[in-house]
């Protein structure tokens, strides 16, 4: 294959090379950026390139990425804030529509070679080409993440994805923001051809150009989904499913998408018009602005996890309870070898069983599940300590037990290893003082359930070695968790904030006789993912009892006594099957008749006041670096309503609205 480039115009973000067969290879390689995104400048250059193609058409066009293992991650989110006016935003979207329609109308074969992330605007651009080829490797993913930013696909994606994959497939991907592996994307119709890990995308793309390949359209039964009677019924089902997990007042984007499709799904041109109007309105709304803020907060936490180069192969976890066992399983899922220690094998076996269930759910393929199982070993004698790159203590919350444990294992741990405790509230100094080198101990505090909660607190104090903090954060990044550096004070950040919030719920229940279900409903009406009572059951009432006792003092004696009575009766919450609620199949059984007439707005204001007070006091005490980091911690650690942009950001907005 001769790819000797012929002379082409020079661009900042695009490279053009015409081979001897007059096939134009168009490579996107955004300058000074780690990944490709579609900024206004990138799109402006693409417009100029398309104009040249219309004037001097090649034999064929292949779009590829110059970033190894990455295609296009979407539009440049950083530019969204430039739009304050909905009409102006709509006109900007319409300009992209016109550009993409010109690409779609090019009178020669157009092929896309996808390797790596092809998301949002990147997938929308790919859908304008005749034929899509993807590398069938682990790092290739396709999807529409826009609803996470409070919008829906705005570069023609709502119309073209439905045309390409059928309404049911396309709407499910857009509404869920779920990323597809290459094979699943092909099964749905987003991709036409797969190339294995040892194949060549370039050869496949060249062949597709030579043969003038075009993507297959959905069959008649799939196209039937777009006709009005069927479309209306499907829209009702979609709306019901989305409503079960999102309040339309809080998250309007998915409902705008459903409404647009229900009305105009059989008219692609009108779908485009609706896209520009509705997405223009959404992108300038408060929900989208706040969700973009959450996106940037997430990126900041990810950045904290990349501040140190770290090579980790082996992890040793001491304590095979719910937290310890689940931490071990999660580390295995990220490709690490893990040894799990407890006093006897009978305490480790339930954790191994839970881990295998998690592996089956996440990995699916039998060979991958078997590989994961083989990397998690029971280790009653603690032989793995000496070889481990990370040692995590996750035994019960007793300071003397933890001190004794660390004193005994310190001589056996590698000098280069990370030494960490998963304590949820005990000050680091109370544990590290048992060590000869107290500065090497950090807190790596996971949250329950480990496989779902993305935040990990990296706890440090004045004696902690700065290098250990960076290594702890890098370890969190390595296992796909967001590290939040916090100073060691009782409860750290997340539990410090949650303790008063959950105690307030118990007080309101005991003193004002407000039903538990109503308290949870009030919190959800504000935008929390679950109420404080359900949250306490999920965390574990034994853990809550110790946190409330430690942080609440005499002011929380009644609440601590209530929790103590539950724990004494064996009612630990979700993990024991009963706490404040009875739990069946992982779900709390709530009394649907417990509502009555209550002012949910007033209840939520009273309920959340301790939450806000604790956030402000934690910031004043310097528990975290700044207000943005605190907001990130509360969003990813407690699920604080993302559409509100974080607790401190919300309070600031409330003050501005009252001025």
List the catalytic residue out of 60, 113, 124, 393: 124
Catalytic annotation on 505? no
Cα separation, 193 vs 28, whole angstroms: 21
- Which of the residues 146, 256, 410, 517 is marked catalytic? 146
**92, 121, 143, 527: the active-site residue:** 121
Q: Using DSSP bridges, classify how beta strands 314-318 and 193-195 pair: parallel, antiparallel or unpaired.
A: unpaired
CA distance 242 to 183: 26
Nearest residue to 28 via CA among 19, 20, 39, 6: 39
What DSSP element (H or E) covers 62?
strand 60-65
Active site residue 219: no
Q: Quote the CA–CA distance of 252 and 511 in Å, as a whole number.
A: 37
Q: Cα–Cα distance between 363 and 368 in angstroms, integer?
A: 6
Bridge-based pairing state of the strands 131-135 and 110-114: parallel
Burial 595-610 (b: 16+ CB within 10 A, else e): eeebebeebbebbbeb
Per-residue exposure over 501-531, b if at least 16 CB sit within 10 Å of its own CB, e if not: bbbbbbbbbeeeebbbbbbbbbbbbbbbebb
The H or E element that residue 634 is part of is helix 627-638
Sheet with 337-341, side-by-side order of all strands: 376-378, 337-341, 314-318, 390-393, 418-421, 441-445, 455-460, 482-487
Sheet strands (E) in 374-487: 376-378, 390-393, 418-421, 441-445, 455-460, 482-487
**Residue count (the chain):** 659
- 121 an active-site residue? yes
CA 116/CA 251 separation, integer angstroms? 29
Q: Do 284 and 84 form a contact (C-beta atoms < 8 A)?
A: yes
For every residue of 517-554, DSSP letters joined together read: HHHHHHHHHHT-SS-HHHHHHHH-HHHHHHHHHHHHGG
* 104: three-class secondary structure by DSSP: helix
Q: ω into residue 215 within 30 of 0, thus cis? A: no
Q: Kindly report the CA angle at 246 between 241 and 248, in degrees rounded to 5?
A: 100
Q: How far apart are CA 392 and CA 403, in angstroms?
A: 13
Residue 150, token pair as written in the block: 């409070």
Show Cβ contacts of residue 471 under 8 Å, excluding neighbours closer than 6 positions.
308, 310, 418
Q: Please check whether residue 453 is in contact with residue 439, taking contact to mean a CB–CB distance below 8 angstroms.
A: no
- Residue tagged active-site, from 60, 74, 75, 325: 75
State yes or no: is 124 an active-site residue: yes
Question: 649: Cβ–Cβ under 8 A, 6 or more apart, which residues?
Answer: 290, 293, 627, 631
- What are the residue numbers of the active site? 75, 121, 124, 146
């Amino acid at each position: 294959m001769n790819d000797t480039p012929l002379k082409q115009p020079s661009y900042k973000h695009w490279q053009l090379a015409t081979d001897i067969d007059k096939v134009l290879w168009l490579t996107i390689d955004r300058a000074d950026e780690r990944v490709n995104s579609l900024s206004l400048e990138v799109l402006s250059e693409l417009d100029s390139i398309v104009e040249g193609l219309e004037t001097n058409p090649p034999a064929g066009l292949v779009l590829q990425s110059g970033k190894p293992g990455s295609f296009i991650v979407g539009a440049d989110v950083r530019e969204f804030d430039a739009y304050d006016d909905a009409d102006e935003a709509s006109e900007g979207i319409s300009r992209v529509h016109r550009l993409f329609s010109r690409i779609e109308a090019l009178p020669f074969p157009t092929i896309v070679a996808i390797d790596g992330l092809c998301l949002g605007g990147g997938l929308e651009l790919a859908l304008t080409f005749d034929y899509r080829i993807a590398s069938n490797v682990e790092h290739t993913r396709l999807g529409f993440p826009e609803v996470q930013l409070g919008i829906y696909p705005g570069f023609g994606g709502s119309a073209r994805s439905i045309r390409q994959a059928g309404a049911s497939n396309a709407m499910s991907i857009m509404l869920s923001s779920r990323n597809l592996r290459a094979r699943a994307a092909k099964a749905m119709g987003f991709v036409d051809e797969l190339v294995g890990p040892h194949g060549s995308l370039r050869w496949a793309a060249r062949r597709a150009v030579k043969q003038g390949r075009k993507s297959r359209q959905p069959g008649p039964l799939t196209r039937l989904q777009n006709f009005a009677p069927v479309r209306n019924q499907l829209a009702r089902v979609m709306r019901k499913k989305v409503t079960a997990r999102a309040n339309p007042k809080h998250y309007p984007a998915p409902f705008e998408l459903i409404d647009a499709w229900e009305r105009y799904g059989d008219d692609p041109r009108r779908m485009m018009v609706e896209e520009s109007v509705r997405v223009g309105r959404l992108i300038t709304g408060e929900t989208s602005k706040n969700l973009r803020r959450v996106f940037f907060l997430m990126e900041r936490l990810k950045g904290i996890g990349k501040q140190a180069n770290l090579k980790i192969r082996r992890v040793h976890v001491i304590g095979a309870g719910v937290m310890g066992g689940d931490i071990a399983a999660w580390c295995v899922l990220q490709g690490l070898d893990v040894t799990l220690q407890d006093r006897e094998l009978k305490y480790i076996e339930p954790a191994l069983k839970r881990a295998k269930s998690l592996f089956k759910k996440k990995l699916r393929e039998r060979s991958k599940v078997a590989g994961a199982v083989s990397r998690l070993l029971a280790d009653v004698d603690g032989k793995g300590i000496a070889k481990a790159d990370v040692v995590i203590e996750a035994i019960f919350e007793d300071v003397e037990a933890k001190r004794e444990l660390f004193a005994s294992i310190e001589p056996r741990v590698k000098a280069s290893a990370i030494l960490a405790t998963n304590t949820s509230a005990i000050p680091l100094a109370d544990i590290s003082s048992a060590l000869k080198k107290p500065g090497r101990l950090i807190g790596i505090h996971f949250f329950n359930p480990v496989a779902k909660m993305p935040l990990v607190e990296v706890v440090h104090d004045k004696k902690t070695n700065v290098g250990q903090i960076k290594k702890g954060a890098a370890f969190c990044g390595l296992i796909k968790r967001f590290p939040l550096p916090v100073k060691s004070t009782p409860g750290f950040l997340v539990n410090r904030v949650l303790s008063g919030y959950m105690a307030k719920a118990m007080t309101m229940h005991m003193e004002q006789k407000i039903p538990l279900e109503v308290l949870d409903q009030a919190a959800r009406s504000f935008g929390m993912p679950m109420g404080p009572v359900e949250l306490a059951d999920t965390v574990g009432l034994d853990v809550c009892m110790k946190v409330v006792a430690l942080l609440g003092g005499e002011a929380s004696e009644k609440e601590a006594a209530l929790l103590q009575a539950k724990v004494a009766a064996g009612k630990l919450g979700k993990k024991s099957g009963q706490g404040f609620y009875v739990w069946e199949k992982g779900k709390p059984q709530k009394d649907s008749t417990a509502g009555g007439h209550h002012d949910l707005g007033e209840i939520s204001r009273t309920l959340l006041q301790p939450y806000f007070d604790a956030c402000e006091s934690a910031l004043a005490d310097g528990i975290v670096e700044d207000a943005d980091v605190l907001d990130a911690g509360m969003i990813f650690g407690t699920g604080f309503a993302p559409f509100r942009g974080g607790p401190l950001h919300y309070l600031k907005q409330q003050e501005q609205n009252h001025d």
